[in-house]
Amino acid sequence: MLEVYKNIKKFRLERGYSQTKLAELAGYKDKTAISHIELGKRKLTPDKVIRFADALGVSPMDLMGWSDEQRRADIVSVLLENNDNEFYNLIINIVKQYRDSNDENKQKMYNLLSAYSDTLK
């Protein structure tokens, strides 16, 4: 997770933002919080990573510094911050089944999950 702290500073500087400006965009009171975050002194939850990514105009995965392979392997564990092993194992099995399926079954799985996701909105 150390990479995310470095990347927050990197993307902030690339955009020409001060710590004060980033604090404003990310919903923090002042630049002190941003300073602590960039130094890795303050833990970031997944929702805060998303907030920083939005403020900096990058994807959360880019902010995390994930390669494409890491993105595929790690995204489920980041989303499941409550360590619900039963649910985690279910998601891993679904991903494995999807990976090993033919195109027709992949489309069916996608449609099913997409339709379910739409009901949650």
What dihedral angle (degrees, nearest 10) is formed by the CA atoms of 97, 98, 99, 101? Answer: 80
Task: Check residue 81 and give its pLDDT.
Answer: 57
Determine the 3-state secondary structure of 84 from DSSP.
coil
Q: What is the pLDDT of residues 25-37, one digit of tens each?
A: 999 999 999 999 9
Task: Check residue 119 and give its pLDDT.
Answer: 76
- For the domain 2-64, what is the CATH code? 1.10.260.40
User: Which segment of 19-23, 53-57, 60-64, 74-78 scores lowest on mean pLDDT?
Assistant: 74-78
Predicted TM-score (pTM) of the model is 0.57
Q: What is the pLDDT of residues 25-72, one digit of tens each?
A: 999 999 999 999 999 998 888 888 889 999 999 888 788 887 665 555
CB atoms within 10 A of CB 13: 12
Determine the 3-state secondary structure of 72 from DSSP.
helix
CB atoms within 10 A of CB 19: 19
Q: Where are the domains of the chain?
A: 2-64, 82-119
